């Protein structure tokens, strides 16, 4: 299962688009990447994805973590400046278990970002919080998250 944070990193760092000398072309912009052309060249190779991508991802994990945190901080800055509000980030309970990412979670906690860590039961398909085949949240989960957000907003007034 992929997490929202993992998806964000994947879409921004491992985007399958035109890649030239360590830069990714996304629409009209060139975005620098850590492994650039090598990773893109072999992106469709099953052997490369199964053997080398996990090694590369492990090697660049700190880069991915820092990239994600800086992205969240930048989003928060935009929300504060443009909407006079604060970005609230919801962290699913199985993120650190699935991704073995306690270091990232600790780094995230050290920021001034508004974080909500959902209780562990939100990761359960059996209890009706996740859709069985794609693991997206169910309407039950979304209703409870809406209540959590409502309480957070009213507490901060």
pLDDT tens-digit map of 90-139? 988 875 555 567 788 888 899 999 999 999 899 888 999 998 888 789 99
Q: Kindly state the average pLDDT of the residues 131-148.
A: 91
Write down the pTM of the prediction: 0.64
Question: What long-range pairs does 63-71 form, CB within 8 A, spacing at least 24?
Answer: 63/34, 64/9, 64/13, 65/103, 65/104, 65/107, 67/9, 67/12, 67/13, 68/5, 68/8, 68/9, 68/104, 69/107, 69/108, 69/111, 71/8, 71/12
């Amino acid at each position: 299962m992929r997490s929202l944070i993992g998806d964000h990193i994947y879409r921004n760092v491992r985007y399958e688009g035109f890649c030239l000398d360590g830069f990714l072309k996304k629409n009209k912009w060139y975005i620098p990447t850590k492994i650039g052309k090598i990773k893109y060249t072999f992106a469709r190779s099953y052997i490369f994805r199964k053997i080398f991508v996990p090694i590369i991802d492990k090697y660049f994990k700190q880069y991915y973590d820092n990239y994600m945190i800086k992205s969240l901080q930048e989003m928060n800055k935009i929300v504060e400046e443009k909407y006079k509000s604060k970005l609230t980030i919801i962290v699913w309970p199985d993120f650190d278990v699935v991704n073995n990412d306690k270091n990232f979670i600790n780094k995230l906690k050290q920021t001034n970002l508004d974080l909500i860590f959902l209780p562990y039961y939100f990761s359960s398909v059996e209890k009706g919080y996740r859709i069985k085949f794609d693991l997206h949240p169910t309407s039950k989960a979304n209703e409870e998250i809406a209540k959590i957000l409502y309480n957070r907003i009213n507490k901060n007034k």
